[in-house]
Amino acid sequence: MKKVYLLSKVDETKCIGDKICENVCPTGAIKVVNRKARVDETKCAACLECLDMCNEGAIRMVPRERPLTMGVDPLDVDQDELRALCDRARFDPDDPICLCTLTPAKEVAAAILKGAQTPEEVTLMTGIRTSCGMWCMAPILRLLKAHGLETAPPKGYRWYDVDANLWDIPEAVSQKYPEYYLEEDKKLYDESMLDNLILMLT
């Protein structure tokens, strides 16, 4: 569950319509229309990426009149389906997959089972990827793919599809590079004992 208290506001006198903000917005809340950025207030998660990336200083944050609440109750979906989806994506349902919001895998899985089909929709429903935005993309893509969804990136560079992972490393590569302990880590993974960034820090 995330509560959003701020909102991006565009200064149209400064905006040059370069679409940088549109490309970095994790919810797709910003669209450039007639060379000016427009913010959909129902979608802005106040992640501050647009503020950080705008070279023109055309964006500032203002308080929302009412906080926007983001969150999905994992108990709202069939628990067997939820567990099966997490299994296919290779997550323990209770493990956090976002360092900032500590959103558990089961909440993202529930959002997908309730209809989220893209990373943007997952973010809008759960609030994941609304702070540093850095570490939780791979887990989101894993859960979407595990549900059989096509993960086609939008036009531009909001996100790219990266699926490099331990369990799909070709055997020849594993054998070529023993110094990376690929086979040993695969075994740990199979025993649910592999530590990723978030499990290391929490």
For another protein, the closer of residues 12 and 163 by Cβ is 163
- Binder to another protein among 16, 18, 64, 196 (CB under 8 A)? 196
Binding of residue 61 to another protein (CB under 8 A): no
Q: CA–CA separation, 93 vs 159, rounded Å?
A: 25
Cα-Cα-Cα-Cα dihedral sign, residues 92, 98, 104, 108: negative
Using DSSP's 3-state secondary structure scheme, residue 36 falls into strand
Q: Based on the number of CB atoms within 10 Å of its own CB, is 91 exposed (0-12), middle (13-18) or buried (19 or more)?
A: buried
Piece of 28-36, 62-70, 98-106, 120-128 that binds another protein (CB under 8 A): 98-106
Among 99, 129, 131, 93, residue whose Cα is nearest residue 113: 93
Beta bridge partner(s), residue 33: 36
Binding of residue 149 to another protein (CB under 8 A): no
For another protein, the closer of residues 84 and 166 by Cβ is 166
Binding of residue 138 to another protein (CB under 8 A): yes
- Binder to another protein among 142, 143, 144, 146 (CB under 8 A)? 142
For another protein, the closer of residues 81 and 92 by Cβ is 92
Q: What is the DSSP string of 53-95?
A: H-TT--EEEEEEEEEEEE---GGGS-HHHHHHHHHHTT--TTS
Binding residues for another protein, rule: CB under 8 A, are 23-24, 48-49, 52-53, 92, 94, 97, 99-100, 102, 131-139, 141-142, 157, 159-166, 168-170, 173, 177, 179-182, 184-186, 188-189, 193-202
